[in-house]
Structure 1
Amino acid sequence: MKINSIFDIHKNTDFEKITLEIFKFQAKNCTVYNEFLNLLKVDIKSVKSVYQIPFLPIQFFKSRQIISSKKPVQRIFLSSGTTGNTQSRHHITDLTIYEKSFTIGFENFYGNIEDYTVLALLPSYLERDGSSLIYMVNDFIEKSNKPKSGFYLNNLDELSKILIELDKKNEKVLLIGVSFALLDLVETFNFKLKNTIIMETGGMKGRRKELIREELHQVLCKGFGVEKIHSEYGMTELLSQAYSKGNGIFECPPWMKVLTRDTEDALTILPEGKSGGINVIDLVNINSCSFIATQDLGKTYKNGTFEVLGRFDDSDIRGCNLMVL
């Protein structure tokens, strides 16, 4: 399969066709996924629909090498592991696919990254190695080619001055930050921003008490003086991102799709509007596994958008313990 065909998807029929092709490829070439399907007694030839594809529990990235390619590994992306759990490891054999995914994905929602000054407030990610988010944002900063673009670790005073300065000049600014760091910023400084996109990447990373999305966004809207807070939905085990331009409703790029599964029966896909575990189809994961059952809870809608409602613990996941991790 030509990788470019993934990025040329425009219709649901294209998505379904390529998804089934990738499923058959990974069922044969990804050892762990093949074992998983065999334990489920899945007849690969009988899978004719996206809704019949089994999703690999995301926990396997913590204990096994999930890979479908014979090419050498170029980079291993690591999860934060802040809760004391084992880190997930995503083995990447072609970084150019990831770069193309996050570049085109961002452009689909926000336009050319070169038009923005990119300010990154991601201390918890910068303080460790192997973050796929840092890799993406660093590429954004380099492509933006603006003098003020960069990472701001603890220098909130400098960051606040730059935000106010660029906003007054009517320059387009993207401030992307982890939730606790954005809260630190608005607790110290007040803003009235008109030309700046505030994008949170979620999570307190153990630094603060977790807030529900509505409460977090309300505080950030007031602190930055903006009407909406944008969000990015991604994870170590994926190579694509979904974006929300407000209200916590996420939209996927054409090569990514979110479904929800029954929390009591992991192999049952729920209809739109029903809350359940989030399953992600990420076709850019062609060299690992494109079908991931995450530990997030959410709800999907008929127009293809979705909402993240929370997370559930390992002890709450049923129907996934078919292989010893």
Structure 2
Amino acid sequence: MVTADDIFNISSKKQFDKIALKVFRQQFDNNSVYSEFCLLLKKDKQNVKSVQDIPFLPIQFFKSHAVLSSEEPVQTTFTSSGTTGMVTSSHHVTDLSLYEQSFRQAFSQFYGNIEDYAILALLPSYLEREGSSLIYMVRDLIEGSCNPHSGFYLNNYNELIKKLIELDASGQNVLLIGVTYALLDLIEMQQFSLKNTIIMETGGMKGKRREIIREELHKLLCSGFGVSEIHSEYGMTELLSQAYSLGNGIFECPPWMDVLIRDTEDALTYIDYGKTGGINVIDLANLNSCAFIATQDLGKKYPNQSFEVLGRFDNSDIRGCNLMVM
């Protein structure tokens, strides 16, 4: 039985592959939705010998099925956002400690000690609904920062502007994490010249603005905030892990997460580095749901294992897509 310790202590590609295959066998045995899908593809524990052989469950299954690999009681259900009448995804989580360990450890890996930061969160469209995994994560980061200035902002932009300028001028390290349209709203109200602040966008216009490509978006945000790089977070309701970009839209995964790029014409075939295809995510923190998910995002992977997100197959609501198609 694979445990959290196995997952969060992965230190090599060889170890990752070994544990991924163990998780596949565990989920094949314990997840009826996933095993039925695998059998339809004529895949089972006998003929899956490598990570490339593992079937990836289409992300749409989270809209129509309870995707569970555990009989433990569900502690919470994260849901995706959507317009009225839209069928949303539900990710039933039986062990919230897996999510907490995943995002805390990943944040530490990419950004260092959380207590070194004041966390300012501008996430109105997420705050205004129930069941957001992003809000759960950011609330925990705010609490973990132990900084009295950390907090959420809904529509109180003037208060946020004042706080951001004061903290940055004082030399405090600040992380402003925001939904894309709200960050654009903010720089239309105030031009900044920030020296000690990281701007992290989570993607998403949420129907508030026209969709623009990432290069144009990041150019606007860099100019408006007076920073040289825009950071990004790639996560979604159906995952318990995030990849981070420290600039230029190039993402890196924590050691227990990886992406593979599938052929858009043949979902069971993988394509070479640098070519565009569908993003398959392995998230081993998804131990109790499904660790192998075929997303609706398009992207490229590079030889150093970083990747880029280049759009979507359609308009499905997947948080973290950082090139919004016109």
Q: Structure 2 length normalisation: TM-score? A: 0.95
Per-residue CA distance 1:44-75 (angstroms, 9 max, x = gap): 21211111111000000000000000100000
Give the CA deviation at 1:38: 1.0
Offset of residue 43 of structure 1: 3.2
Q: Structure 1 residues 304, 84: closer, same or farther in 2, change over 3 A?
A: farther
Partner of residue 165, structure 1: 166
- Paired residue for 2:24? 23
The 2-side partners of 1:2 and 1:201 are apart by 30
AA aligned opposite 1:203: G
Q: Verify the 8 A CA contact 2:231 2:246 in the aligned structure 1.
A: yes
Confirm or deny: 8 A CA contact 1:296 1:309 kept in the other structure: yes
Question: Does the 8 Å CA contact 1:83/1:206 hold for their aligned counterparts?
Answer: no
Partner of 1:148: 149
**Counterpart residue identity of residue 271, structure 1:** D
- Hey, what does 2:308 align to over in structure 1? 307
- Does residue 278 (structure 1) correspond to residue 279 (structure 2)? The answer is yes
Task: State the secondary structure of the residue aligned to 2:46.
Answer: helix
The offset of 1:3, in angstroms, is: 1.2
Which residue of the partner structure matches residue 100 of structure 2?
99
Matched, 1:55 2:51: no
5+ long unaligned stretches in structure 1: 316-325
Moved more, 102-111 or 75-84: 75-84
The structural deviation recorded for 1:85 is: 2.4
Letter in 2 for 1:32: V
Identity of aligned residues (%): 68
Shift of 1:95: 0.2
For the residue of structure 2 that corresponds to 1:243, the secondary structure is strand
Runs of 4+ in 1 over 4 A off after TM superposition: none
TM-fit CA distance, 1:314:
7.7
1:230-309 maps to which residues of 2 (within 5 A)?
A: 230-309=231-310
Residue identity in the other structure for 1:48:
K
How far apart are residue 155 of structure 1 and its match?
0.6
Instruction: Name structure 2 gaps, 5 residues minimum.
Output: 317-326
Q: For each residue in 1:234-255, what CA deviation from the matched residue of structure 2 results, as whole angstroms up to 9, or x when unmatched?
A: 0000000000000000000000
Question: Which digits, 9 at most, give the CA deviation of each residue in 1:218-261, with x for residues without a partner?
Answer: 00000000000000000000000000000000000000001111
- AA paired with 2:51? V
Whole-Å separation in 1 of the counterparts to 2:42 and 2:9? 33
- Aligned residue for 2:273, secondary structure, equals coil
How many residue pairs get aligned? The number is 315
**Conservation of the 8 A alpha-carbon contact between 2:300 and 2:310:** yes
Q: What one-letter code is carried by the residue in structure 2 that aligns with 1:249?
A: I
What displacement does 1:82 show? 3.0
TM superposition score normalised by structure 1: 0.95
Structure-1 separation of matches of 2:112 and 2:300: 27
Matches within 5 A, 1:72-83: 72-82=73-83
- Give, in angstroms, the shift of residue 28 of structure 1: 1.1
Is 1:179 the counterpart of 2:180 in the alignment?
Answer: yes
State the shift of 1:84 in Å.
4.5
**Residue type of the alignment partner of 1:66:** V
Structure 1 residues 146-171: Cα deviation after superposition (integer angstroms, max 9, x where no partner): 11110000011010111110111110
